[in-house]
Chain A
Amino acid sequence: MEEREEATKDVEVAPALIAVHPHQRSVAVAIGPDLRVFDLHASAAVSLVDDSGGPFHSDSIRAARFGAKGKLFVSAGDDKIVKIWSTEFWRCFCTVSSEKRVCAVAISIDGSYVCFADKFGVVWIVDLTGYDGNQPLGDKKATAILSHYCSIITRLEFSPDGRFIVSADRDFKIRVTVFSKRPLNGAHEIQSFCLGHTEFVSCLAFVHGQDCPQDFLLSGSGDSTVRLWDISSGALLDTCEVSIKAGLLESSGEAQENDHAITDLCTVLDSLLVAVAVQSLQGIVLVSCNHSARTLSVAKVVPFAGEAFVPIGLGYCPSEGILWMITGASSLPRSSCPSLARVRVISGFDVEQEPAVVEDDKVPGGEKLLETLQGTVSVNGNVFLEAAEAVKTAMCNLLIKKQYPAENRDFRKRTRNDRKFKP
Chain B
Amino acid sequence: MPETEVNPTHSKSTGLPRKRFYRARAHSNPLSDSHFPVPISPSHVDYSLHYPQFFPSAGQANNSKKIQFADIGCGFGGLLISLSTLFPETLMIGMELRDKVTEYVKERILALRVANPGQYQNVSVVRTNSMKYIPNYFEKAQLTKMFFLFPDPHFKEKNHRRRVISPHLLDEYAYALEVGGIIYTITDVEELGEWMKSCLENHPMFEALSEKELEADPVVKLLSSATEEGQKVARNGGQTFPAIFRRIVPSDQTP
| Binary A-proximity of B74-103 (CB < 8 A = 1, otherwise 0) | 000000000000000000000000000000
User: Which of B33, B35, B174 interacts with A190 by CB under 8 Å?
Assistant: B174
B136 engages A189 (CB within 8 Å): no
Cα–Cα distance between A404 and B35 once the two chains are bound (Å)? 9
Partner-binding segment picked from A27-35, A50-58, A143-151, A326-334: A143-151
CB <8 Å contact, B40 and A188? no
- Residue pairs across A and B with CB atoms within 8 Å: the count is 64
Does B153 lie at the interface of the complex (its beta carbon under 8 Å from any beta carbon of A)?
A: no
Verify A172–B40 contact, CB threshold 8 A: yes
> Nearest CB to that of A234 among chain B residues?
B140
* Most-contacted residue by chain B among A151, A175, A180, A190 (CB, 10 A): A190
Closest residue on chain A to residue B174 by CB atoms: A188
**Set of chain B residues within 8 Å of A173, measured between Cβ atoms:** 135
Near A by CB (< 8 A), chain B positions 139-194 give: 140, 167-172, 174-175
Complex Cα distance, B168 from A150, in Å, reads 12
Closest chain B residue to A185, Cβ basis: B204
Residues B25-39 near A (CB distance < 8 A):
30-31, 33, 35
- For residue B125, CB closer than 8 A to chain A, the reply is no
| Minimum CB–CB distance for B125 against chain A, Å | 21
A195 — which chain B residues lie within 8 A by C-beta? 40-42, 135-136
| Size bracket, chain B contacts | 20 to 34
Q: Would you call A193 an interface residue if the criterion is a C-beta within 8 Å of the partner chain's C-beta atoms? A: yes
In whole angstroms, what is the CA distance A146 to B170 when docked? 10
B243 contacts the other chain (CB 8 A): no
Q: How far is the CA of A181 from the CA of B205 in the complex (A)?
A: 16
CB distance from A170 to the nearest CB of B (A): 10
A171 contact set on B, CB distance < 8 A: 132
* CB-nearest residue of chain A to B41: A195
A192 touches B (CB below 8 Å): yes
Give the CA-CA distance A144 to B167 in the complex, in Å: 10
A401/B250 in contact, CB under 8 A? no
Q: Does B213 contact A (CB under 8 A)?
A: no
The reply to whether the CB of B253 lies closer than 8 angstroms to some CB of chain A is yes
C-alpha gap A171/B205 in the complex (Å): 26
Contact A401 B136 (CB under 8 A): no
Q: Could you tell me the distance between the alpha carbons of A193 and B132 in the complex, rounded to whole angstroms?
A: 13
Q: Is B131 an interface residue (CB 8 A)?
A: yes
**Chain B residues whose C-beta falls within 8 Å of the C-beta of A251 in the assembled complex:** none
Expressed in whole angstroms, the Cα–Cα distance for A82 and B135 within the complex equals 30
Contact of A180 among B132, B174, B252 (CB under 8 A): B252
B203 within 8 A of A: yes
Interchain CB contact under 8 A, B250 and A149:
no
Q: Do B31 and A196 have beta carbons less than 8 Å apart?
A: no
CB distance from A408 to the nearest CB of B (A): 11
Set of chain B residues within 8 Å of A403, measured between Cβ atoms: 35
Which A residues touch B35, using CB under 8 A?
401, 403-404
Contact B169 A149 (CB under 8 A): yes
**Closest CB in chain B relative to A402 CB, distance in Å:** 8
Once bound together, how far apart are the Cα atoms of A404 and B167, in whole Å?
33
Residues of A within 8 A of B40 (CB): 172, 195-196, 198
Contacts of B170 in A (CB 8 A): 188
CB within 8 Å for A150 and B205 given contacts A172-B40, A190-B140: no
Complex Cα gap A146–B174 (Å): 13
- Within the complex, what minimum Cβ distance (angstroms) separates A224 from chain B? 15
Complex alpha-carbon distance, A182 and B253, angstroms: 12
Q: Are A150 and B131 in contact (CB under 8 A)?
A: yes
Pick the residue among B31, B171, B175 that contacts A3 (CB under 8 A): B31
User: B residues within 8 A CB of A182?
Assistant: 252
A188 close to B132 (CB less than 8 A): no
CB distance from A171 to the nearest CB of B (A): 6
Whole-angstrom distance between the alpha carbons of A186 and B35 in the complex?
A: 32
Residues B252 and A190 in contact, CB atoms below 8 Å apart: no
* Closest B residue, CB atoms, query A169: B132
Complex: how many Å from CA A172 to CA B41? 10
Residue A250 is within 8 A (CB to CB) of chain B in the complex: no
* Residue A2 CB within 8 A of the other chain: yes
Residues of B within 8 A of A172 (CB): 40
Residue numbers of B with Cβ under 8 A of A are 30-31, 33, 35, 40-42, 131-132, 135-136, 140, 167-172, 174-175, 203-205, 250, 252-253
Those 5 A-B pairs whose CB atoms lie nearest each other, nearest first:
A147-B168, A195-B41, A190-B175, A193-B135, A149-B131
- In the assembled complex, 21 residue pairs joining A and B whose CB atoms fall closer than 8 Å, in A order, are A2-B31, A122-B168, A146-B168, A150-B131, A171-B132, A186-B167, A186-B171, A187-B171, A188-B171, A188-B174, A188-B204, A189-B174, A189-B205, A190-B140, A190-B171, A190-B172, A195-B41, A195-B42, A198-B40, A401-B33, A404-B35
Given A151-B132, A190-B171, A234-B140, 13 further pairs, Cβ under 8 A: A3-B31, A146-B168, A147-B169, A149-B132, A149-B169, A172-B40, A173-B135, A185-B204, A186-B167, A186-B171, A188-B170, A192-B140, A195-B41
